[in-house]
Structure 1
Amino acid sequence: MQLSAYTKEFSKNLKLAFPVMLGQLGHVMVGLVDNLMIGQLGPAPLAAVSLGNSLVFIALSLGIGFSFAITPLIAEADGAGDIENGRSYFHHGIILCAINGVLLFLLLLLAKPVLNYLDQPPEVVELAIPYLEIVAFSMLPLMVFQAFKQFADGLSQTKYAMYATLLSNVVNVVFNYLLIYGIWIFPRLELEGAAIGTLVSRFFMLWFIWEILRRKKKFAEYFRWTKKEFLKAAIFRRLLALGFPTALQMLFEVAIFTATVFLAGLLGTNPQAANQIALNLASMTFMVAVGLGVAATIRIGNQKGLGHYRELRRIALSTFLLVFLIEAVFAIGFILLNDILPTFYIENAEVVLLAAQLLVVAALFQLSDGLQVVILGALRGLQDVRIPTIICFIAYWIVGFPVSWYFGSAERMGSMGIWLGLLAGLTSSALMLYLRFAYLSRKLILSKPVPEAKTNIN
């Protein structure tokens, strides 16, 4: 097949993915704003945000993973023109996400004492605990927001979550500025002020997406609630069957990145602060890949609902090629600007030098990191989640973490060794996931060898 067969899909992929990219970048921007503002207070507060968020990100990965089950089911129902099933998945998804929000909030509160047993700098732990307590409460509005977001994404309406997220960042910046530094009539709360800003912005984000979706005519049928639709065990089972493995996939990946925070903390406050800077920058480019992963889920789900398997494979390969090209540009940028980017966070010379070294490794795993998340999105569109979950565990915890643990000690390679483990894990994940997708897509095509008419649907 000619290259143009794939490149001609780039515009459709980007049309779906671009709002998701901006929306996901908006989530990261909340952390970026916190890091930039708190970085002015010194290395210890910056390291405390990193430590507190390490637990939050684990909880977040579980909650978002469960919510991801909504998108392929909505997309498949939309492709088949089945509004009734789509509405049922949406309503049950909201209930499930709300329950998850409450459970994750309680889980984070119960997990606070863990910070005292991770051999982290005492001054960092002392600052991290009150920050964590406040941010934990923001899991409630954020999880319900995710239900609305994944529903809209499944209908290929990705722009509304973007609007909500970007506007919530404005709210976050304003409250951060007022509460971190004590501007005007507001008290100087430093880290706790940043946490309150995050909390307020997430409640705003939920209110905004609910308000805008319920007023749109396109969504009117989905917002009709009837008693007979509540608490259908079969619907919850299907959501959980997709959501639980997806949550584990995200947990395995987020947990290994969280492990780098703990391993860096064993090296001292400055290495931990440098690790946080590099992670924050890498996470921004990763969100671009997440956007394309969502586009892959939507488009593959649509084609699955239509039964167009050759188109399904071609469209998926177009998203893989697109993310590879985009991440290659980011990799070059990290290498060229590795000495400059950390200076936006902090002026400490040692932290800047360490972060610059980590960005070189981050540049190398941009390609595999982007590919693995988009291939996971395509597999999610096929509703194939169990084998990819096993693949993620093997890649990150059988391959990646041992490398980080061994080479990340102070007497070997330190922070660079920790990040080499990330590179090994992400690369093996991308390779194994691609082989899985290639196998399944060929199997589908062979099951329906009749030539298909091309479709313009998403």
Structure 2
Amino acid sequence: MQLSAYTKEFKQNLQIAFPIMLGQLGHVMVGFADNSMVGRLGAAPLAAVSLGNSLIFIALSIGIGFSFAITPLVAEADGVKDTNRGRSVFQHGLIMCTVNGVLLFLLILLAKPILYHLDQPKEVVDLSLPYIDIVAFSLLPLMIFQAFKQFGDGLSQTKYAMYATLVANVVNVLFNYLLIYGVWIFPRLELEGAAIGTLISRFFMLGMIYYILRRQKKFAPFFTKLQRPLDRKVFKQLFSLGFPTALQMFFEVAIFTASVFLAGTLGTNAQAANQVALNLASMTFMVAVGIGVTSTIRVGNQKGLKNFKELRRIALSTFLLVFVIEAVFAVGFILLKDFLPTLYIDDNTIVISVAAQLLIIAALFQLSDGMQVVILGALRGLQDVKTPTLICFIAYWVVGFPISFYLGKEDMYGSMGIWYGLLAGLSVSAILLYFRFNYLSKKLISDGSIKGLV
């Protein structure tokens, strides 16, 4: 098949993906705002935000993973114009996400004492605990927001979540500025101020997306009275898709979180540098996430129509698109490695120097990181989640983590060694997931169906 058969899909892929990219970047920009403003307070507060967010992100990955189950099911229903099915998935998914938000908040509160037993600097742990309490509570509005977002994404209406996220990001930056530094009538709360800014912005984001969707005619049929009695089969299907997806995200986020803990054993400066590089890599990763969700939506549509040749062609077009974009980011990281860390902290040459070294490795795994998340999106559109979950576990925890643990010791390669493990895990994941998609898509074309994917 000629290259143009794939590149001609770039426009539609980007039309769907662009709002998702901006929305996801909005989430990361909340972290960027926290990090850059807190970084002006010193290396220890920046390391505390890193440590606190590492715990939050583990819980967040689980909640978002469950919410991702909503998108392929709604997309499949939308492909065949089954409004009743889409409404049922949305309403049950909203309940699931609300319950998850409460459970994750409680889980984080119970897990906080673990931080004192992970060989982290005590001053960093002490600073992080009040920050964690507040940001953990913000998971409740964020999880409910995710239900609305994934529902809208499933209907290919991706711009509304983007609007809510970007405006909420402005709200976050404003309250960060006022509360971290104590501007005007507001008290100087430093790290707690950053956390309160995040909390306020997430409640604002939830209120805004609810208001927008309720006023759109396309969404009116889905906002009818809650279906009663609730259907266990729908919850079961959401769980069968959501739980493995949550594990996939957990395995990946957990290895990046492990990198934070491993960096913490090397000292405050190493942990701060690790946070800078991670936050920058997260921004480019969110662009790939947008294309990954696009792959889920478009593959899910074609699965509903049972048009499997188109399904494969469209999925491959998303793989090619993310490869091109991530290659550009990789070059940018290499060229700007000495400048980008100064956006976070400008008075610590050790942190800047170590972060610049890590960005070289981050540039190398841009391609594999982007590819693996988009291929996962395509497999999610096929509702294939069990085998990809096993692949993620093997790639990150059988291959990646042992390398990070061994090479990340102070007498080995230190921070660079930790990131060599990340590079290895992401690369193995991308390769194995591609083999999985290639096998399933060809089998769908030849056989017409694949049973027992989820």
Aligned partner of residue 41 in structure 1, secondary structure? coil
- 1:4 corresponding residue in structure 2: 4
- CA apart distance, 1:326: 0.2
Paired residues of 2:91 and 2:226 also in contact (CA < 8 A): no
Q: CA–CA distance in 2 between the matches of 1:285 and 1:51?
A: 21
**Residues 232-290 of structure 1: per-residue CA shift (max 9 Å, x gap):** 11110000000000000000000000000000000000000000000000000000000
4+ residue segments displaced more than 3 Å: none
Identity %: 74
Q: CA–CA distance in 1 between the matches of 2:36 and 2:230?
A: 44
2:241 is aligned with 1:252: no
Structure 1 residues not aligned, in runs of 5+: 450-458
Q: CA–CA distance in 2 between the matches of 1:112 and 1:135?
A: 13
Q: CA–CA distance in 2 between the matches of 1:227 and 1:277?
A: 46
- 1:39 corresponding residue in structure 2: 39
- CA apart distance, 1:81: 1.0
- 1:51 corresponding residue in structure 2: 51
Give TM-score, length-normalised by structure 2. 0.98
Q: CA–CA distance in 2 between the matches of 1:94 and 1:208?
A: 16
**What amino acid maps onto 2:230 in structure 1?**
L
What are the equivalent positions in structure 2 for 1:424-435 lying under 5 Å apart?
424-435=424-435
- 2:331 corresponding residue in structure 1: 332
**Residues 365-388 of structure 1: per-residue CA shift (max 9 Å, x gap):** 000000000000000000000000
- 1:201 corresponding residue in structure 2: 201
**Residues 192-218 of structure 1: per-residue CA shift (max 9 Å, x gap):** 000000000000000000000011000
Aligned partner of residue 398 in structure 1, secondary structure? helix
2:382 is aligned with 1:382: yes
- 2:142 corresponding residue in structure 1: 142
- 1:288 corresponding residue in structure 2: 287
- 2:231 corresponding residue in structure 1: 232
Q: CA–CA distance in 2 between the matches of 1:207 and 1:133?
A: 22
Aligned partner of residue 119 in structure 2, secondary structure? coil
- 2:452 corresponding residue in structure 1: none
What are the equivalent positions in structure 2 for 1:111-190 lying under 5 Å apart?
111-190=111-190
- 1:65 corresponding residue in structure 2: 65
**What amino acid maps onto 2:383 in structure 1?**
Q
**What amino acid maps onto 1:118 in structure 2?**
L
- CA apart distance, 1:231: 2.1
- CA apart distance, 1:80: 1.0
- 1:89 corresponding residue in structure 2: 89
Q: CA–CA distance in 2 between the matches of 1:306 and 1:155?
A: 15
- CA apart distance, 1:56: 0.2
Q: CA–CA distance in 1 between the matches of 2:260 and 2:164?
A: 30
**What amino acid maps onto 2:367 in structure 1?**
L
- 2:342 corresponding residue in structure 1: 343
**Residues 274-314 of structure 1: per-residue CA shift (max 9 Å, x gap):** 00000000000000000000000000000000010000000
- 1:310 corresponding residue in structure 2: 309
Aligned partner of residue 413 in structure 2, secondary structure? coil
Count of aligned residue pairs for this structure pair: 448
**Residues 415-446 of structure 1: per-residue CA shift (max 9 Å, x gap):** 00000000000000000000000000000000
Q: CA–CA distance in 1 between the matches of 2:424 and 2:92?
A: 38
- CA apart distance, 1:447: 1.6
Aligned partner of residue 346 in structure 1, secondary structure? coil
**What amino acid maps onto 1:363 in structure 2?**
A
- CA apart distance, 1:227: 4.3
Structure 2 residues not aligned, in runs of 5+: 450-454
Q: CA–CA distance in 1 between the matches of 2:237 and 2:312?
A: 25
Q: CA–CA distance in 1 between the matches of 2:399 and 2:448?
A: 37
Q: CA–CA distance in 1 between the matches of 2:159 and 2:345?
A: 34
Give TM-score, length-normalised by structure 1. 0.97
- 1:74 corresponding residue in structure 2: 74
- 1:454 corresponding residue in structure 2: none
Q: CA–CA distance in 1 between the matches of 2:125 and 2:96?
A: 33
- 1:410 corresponding residue in structure 2: 410
